[in-house]
Amino acid sequence: MVNSEEFSKRLEKIMDFHELTASAFADQIDVGRSSISHILSGRNKPSLDFVMKIIESFPEVELYWLLNGKGSFPKQKNKPALEIGKKKDRDLFDVDDNDAESKSIHHQKQSEVQHIVNKSGKQISRIVVFYTDGTFENFTEDDR
């Protein structure tokens, strides 16, 4: 459950970071100005739609930080020092360049995925994976 008082402080931190008034922030995320006022005063709790509008409008805001205060703001782009020297493990979906059959299957699957995406007329901008331990990973085009 989101702690309204703590959520309000994080919301104010985002507004301060971007040097926005409550009204300008409301306009930026396309919500009513009274929504911001009610959340900041503790009268209302944020809705899922409200939270998602913040995440969509401000990509440097981590969802987990916004909801629970754990993590960092703004989102850190750098990898932790421990990961720098690590050798990349093979991914389940990595293609072995030496295997012609794997290349063919990979190409076929890519074509199928592309067909599904093109058929809908929509483009995927972000995928969020939620884990049972309460953590999540956010994948965007910039992460490639």
What pLDDT does residue 26 have?
Answer: 92
Nearest to 58 by CA among 21, 23, 4, 17: 17
What lies within 8 Å, CB to CB, of 11 at 6+ separation is 25, 36, 39, 40, 54
Q: Which tokens is 16 given?
A: 């301060």
What pLDDT does residue 53 have?
Answer: 93
Whole-Å CA distances, 111 to 17, 57, 102, 117, 118: 43, 31, 14, 10, 10
Per-residue pLDDT in tens (0 to 9) along the chain, 144 residues: 577 788 899 999 999 999 999 999 999 999 999 999 999 988 889 999 999 999 999 989 998 888 888 888 877 765 555 555 555 566 666 555 556 666 667 667 666 766 665 666 777 778 888 988 888 888 887 776
Residue ranges of domains in the chain, CATH in brackets: 4-68 (1.10.260.40), 92-143 (no CATH)
Per-residue DSSP letters for 99-120? -HHHHHHHHHHHHHHHHHHHHH
Establish whether the linkage from the previous residue to 74 is cis, with ω within 30° of 0.
Answer: yes
Cβ-count burial 115-134 (b if 16+ within 10 Å, e if not): eeeeeeeeeeeeeeeeeeee
Is the pTM higher than 0.75? The answer reads: no
What pLDDT does residue 25 have?
Answer: 92
